[in-house]
């Protein structure tokens, strides 16, 4: 008997959940503020581009997005189980694949900025 591999994904889920709980409300709020027509100074192209060029900005964006993706993926796997879908292995592979793709895309775009 040994500790299941689920320990690893759960760790990502827990870290991701903490990050999203603290950071996502303000992120969504920024989308809402832009949607309401009021684009603040920091979200003008030059400024946000500068933020994402800075390595600290890149690190913050990467950590927030990738952890959130893994959190959502693992939780979605549990949601499928809770809704009665019993193909856990298939569901797990699918959701983690999407999280992996998202993580790679994040790294790719951050590298390009």
Partner 1 sequence: MSRQPYIRPVSKTTWYMRNGRYRKYMLREVTCLLVGVYSFLTIWVLATLASGSPESWNALLASQQTPAMIGFHAFALIYFLIYQSFDWFKLAPKAMPVQLGEKKLPDRYIIIAHYVAWAVVSLFVFWLAGVI
Partner 2 sequence: MSMRQMELEVLRYDPEQDEAPRFQNYSVPCVDDWAILDALNYVKENIDTTLAYRWSCHMMVCGSCGMMVNGEPSLTCKTFIRDLPDHVRIEPLENFPIERDLVVVLDDVMEKLRMAKPFIIRKDPPPEDQEFTQSRAALYKFKQYTMCVNCMCCYAACPQYALDSSFIGPAVLALAHRYNLDSRDQGKAERLNLLADHDGVWECSFVGACSEVCPKSVDPAAAVQQMKIDGAKEWWKQKLGGGKS
Q: Is 100 in the site for partner 1 (CB under 8 A)?
A: no
The H or E element that residue 89 is part of is helix 88-112
The least distance separating partner 2 from the CB of residue 62, rounded to whole angstroms, comes to: 21
Cβ count near 26 (within 10 Å) = 8
Burial-class residue 89 by CB neighbours within 10 Å (0-12, 13-18, 19+).
exposed
Q: Is 15 in the site for partner 1 (CB under 8 A)?
A: no
Terminal-to-terminal C-alpha distance of the chain: 46
Query: Which residue among 19, 48, 60, 81 contacts partner 2 (CB under 8 A)?
Result: 81
Query: Which residue among 2, 3, 7, 84 contacts partner 1 (CB under 8 A)?
Result: 84
The least distance separating partner 2 from the CB of residue 56, rounded to whole angstroms, comes to: 26
Q: Is 3 in the site for partner 2 (CB under 8 A)?
A: yes
The least distance separating partner 1 from the CB of residue 92, rounded to whole angstroms, comes to: 14
Q: Residue 40 — left, alpha, or beta (φ > 0 → left; ψ -120 to 50 → alpha)?
A: beta
Point out which residues bind partner 2 (CB under 8 A): 1-4, 6-8, 10-11, 14, 78, 81-82
């Amino acid at each position: 008997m040994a500790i299941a591999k689920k320990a690893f994904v759960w760790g990502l889920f827990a870290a991701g959940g903490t990050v999203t709980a603290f950071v996502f409300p303000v992120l969504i709020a920024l989308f809402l503020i832009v949607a309401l027509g009021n684009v603040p100074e920091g979200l003008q192209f030059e400024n946000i581009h500068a933020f994402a060029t800075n390595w600290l900005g890149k690190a913050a964006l990467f950590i927030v997005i990738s952890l959130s993706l893994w959190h959502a993926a693992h939780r979605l796997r549990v949601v499928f189980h809770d809704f009665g879908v019993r193909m856990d292995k298939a569901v797990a592979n699918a959701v983690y694949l999407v999280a992996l793709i998202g993580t790679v895309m994040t790294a790719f775009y951050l590298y390009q900025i």
